[in-house]
Amino acid sequence: MIPDTLLRLAINRLTVRPTEKQTLEELVDSEEFFRALTPALLSQILGRQIVRMERGPDELLCRAERDLSFLRARGCHAISLYDRRYPAALQEIYDPPYLLYLRGELPALDRPMVAIVGTRDPGAAAATASRRLAGEFARAGVAVVSGLARGIDVEAHRGAVEHGITGAVLASGVDLITPSSHRGVAAQILDRGGFLLSEYAPGVAPMKYHFPARNRIISGLSRAVIVVQAPAKSGALITADYALDQGRDLFVHRVGVDGVRGAGTAELAADGAPVIDSAGEVFREWEIEVPYGTREPGFSDAPASEPRSADEAARRRIELVRRSISGEATR
């Protein structure tokens, strides 16, 4: 392993898996070695066939030099798996990013993070609930993580940024904010001490396959994932799946278990995800009081208890989903 930033930036621009990039770091000990990489040599190193390299080693090193200049000019950081600043929770997942590009500052390592995600086309009540819930967590000192996408994501950032720390994980380079209408929110996130994070190099545009990969980082950073509202086949359900695979707590919001927009959320509830409508219920599930001595309206110092279950109407909707999944006839 060689702690050379330029080589790490070049390795990260290779289109291979995160674990394979770690393997390359262990072997590539000089620019000369990197320049000698060919599809055949990569195939031998990685133990699988590499038919072609999208860009040659010389071009990758040139791009890495531009990346390094960008990071230095913008005050950004490239954090490797071997860096003590790398989030410990993210290191624990099956396929942690080889390199993280960071604008801003990550929360202290002892502070939990919570992911709030959902549909890009929420109902008005769900959008309001996302802002409110994020604000509750932020006031309590818990950083809110989301993807800066339209809908639930950006509403969560807006709610949190008014009261505390929030961070956005991007499916593009940290210099490309999409949609462009969210640049103002991104600037607020940084101004208030939050962060923008990506495993993709500067200048890399968002691709369709980047979003599921981005979602594993959102859940991996977090102690809990809360799906506010999600229709069937929503990308937020991918984040929920990652949360379960990674051993994270998974919750759904009470407002999001109704109607077509909430079909996916209702299915998660039917599968056992607790239904909540406040940050306090999550803290009670964790058996802690409001963290760090802060208080806000709606929090209680009552002894820890189970989160409230769904109300009767929500239970009926959830039961309908459960029956449809199992193939039972419903009326």
pLDDT tens digits for 42-52?
999 999 999 98
Q: Which is higher by pLDDT, 117 or 29? A: 117
128, 151 contact by CB (below 8 A) = no
DSSP assigned state of 107: P
Give the list of residues 6+ apart from residue 7 with CB closer than 8 angstroms, or none: 25, 28, 30, 31, 34, 64
Mean pLDDT across the chain, nearest whole number? 88
10 Å CB burial of residue 331 (0-12, 13-18, 19+) is exposed
Percent of the chain with pLDDT over 70: 86
Alpha carbon of residue 118 to chain centroid: 12
**Lowest-pLDDT choice from 22-31, 128-137, 177-186, 266-275:** 22-31
Reported confidence tier of residue 328, pLDDT bands at 50, 70, 90: very low
Q: Give the mean model confidence (pLDDT) for residues 81-107.
A: 94
Q: Which is higher by pLDDT, 320 or 181? A: 181
What DSSP letter does each residue of 17-30 carry, written as one string? -HHHHHHHHHH--S
Q: Which residues of 294-319 are buried (b: 16+ CB within 10 A; e: fewer)?
A: eebeebeeeeeeebeebeeebeebbe
Q: What's the pLDDT at 305?
A: 38
Is 289's pLDDT higher than 80?
Answer: no
Question: For residue range 155-164, what is the model confidence (pLDDT) as tens digits?
Answer: 999 999 999 9
**Of residues 304, 133, 145, 151, the one with CA closest to residue 225:** 145
Is 306's pLDDT higher than 50?
Answer: no
Reported confidence tier of residue 300, pLDDT bands at 50, 70, 90: very low
**Which range, 3-17, 40-54, 134-148, has the best average confidence (pLDDT)?**
134-148
Looking up tokens 């055949």 gives 40
Q: What's the pLDDT at 20?
A: 94
Question: For residue range 204-232, what is the model confidence (pLDDT) as tens digits?
Answer: 999 999 999 999 999 999 999 999 999 99
Is 304's pLDDT higher than 80?
Answer: no
Q: What's the pLDDT at 297?
A: 38
Is 312's pLDDT higher than 50?
Answer: yes
Q: What's the pLDDT at 90?
A: 96
290, 283 contact by CB (below 8 A) = yes
Phi, psi at residue 308, to the nearest 5°? -60, 140
